[in-house]
Amino acid sequence: MLSKLVQRANNQSMLNHGARAFRTSAVVNKKPSIGDAVTILQEKVSNISQVNDLKEFGTVISIGDGIARVFGLMKVQAGEMVEFSSGVKGMALNLETDNVGIVVLGNDREIQEGDIVKRTGSIVDVPIGEGMLGRVVDALGNPIDGEGPINSDEKQRVELKAPGIIPRKSVHEPMQTGLKSVDSLVPIGRGQRELIIGDRQTGKTAIAIDTIINQKAVHESDDETKKLYCIYVAVGQKRSTVANIVKTLKDYDAMKYAVVVAA
């Protein structure tokens, strides 16, 4: 009899404990009121760091021939540098109402439709100065010759306003190319634009390279005003072709007053 009473008391205690546990769980699982929900949301929002992020994002809608069309980037500036999700850089040029035209400054094969593009907030600029001499760089002035960083602290924007007709200095000083047929029949002056046009494999590149090499005699003089610094830009050429040009310039000791840009 005594054992039955003890067992009944234990069962009653377990029932009371279960009821308390049920009531406790019911209190815990009680849905918060609207006021509690607002308080919780305010606490969550207050814990978010307020960072003034100037970057805006866009999406590539088309890519081809080195030009990317991007939807978004509503506040991008003309000439601003942007970065694709693949790490390739670009420059915003054509600002339209529904999209932005971006010139890809790299391999456009690494960019696909749907890729994310973000602003950088900076206008495209490149390093300048005598530290660029003798180096091979890409379109942004980054060294690609494996000879370490460029020793230049100066930078200049790519897009600059051209001087007008009146402030522009006239072409009054001749430039010797070292090619008798050119110097005698088609004299060229410093600051002049001269087009070298012809069919493939007719020696257009050879004329430009020979002109650079022939400036060595001018650079051996002590007169700084007569020295002519040369920039060779290889647009869309193979890396092997660029390497051969650099080797030729080095063989004739012409890289000390020249810069090669592989764009």
Task: Give the sign of the dihedral formed by CA 103, CA 104, CA 108, CA 111.
Answer: negative
| Highest-scoring range by mean pLDDT, 1-10, 54-63, 96-105 | 96-105
The 10s digit of each residue's pLDDT in 126-175 is 999 999 999 999 989 999 999 999 988 899 998 888 888 888 888 889 99
What pLDDT, on a 0 to 100 scale, did the predictor assign at position 114? 92
- Residue 141: what are its φ and ψ, rounded to 5°? 85, 10
Q: Which residues pair with 260 in a beta bridge?
A: 136, 232
Cα(74)–Cα(3) distance, integer angstroms: 84
Interval 250-256 mean pLDDT: 95
How would DSSP label each residue in 133-154? TT-EE-TTS-B-SSS------E
> Does domain 127-262 match CATH 3.40.50.300?
yes
Q: Per-residue pLDDT averaged across 65-80, rounded?
A: 92
Higher per-residue pLDDT: 46 or 120: 120
Domain parsing of the chain, residue ranges: 2-46, 57-123, 127-262
Residue 212: band (very low, low, confident or very high) from pLDDT cuts 50, 70, 90:
very high
CATH class of 57-123: mainly beta
For 193, list phi and psi in degrees, rounded to 5: -95, 130
Q: Are the CB atoms for 162 and 191 separated by under 8 Å?
A: no
3-class secondary-structure state, position 114: coil
- Which amino acid is it at 195? L
Q: What gap in Å lies between CA 28 and CA 25, rounded to an integer? A: 5
Distance CA 126, CA 105 (A): 12
Q: Please say if the pLDDT value at position 202 is more than 60.
A: yes
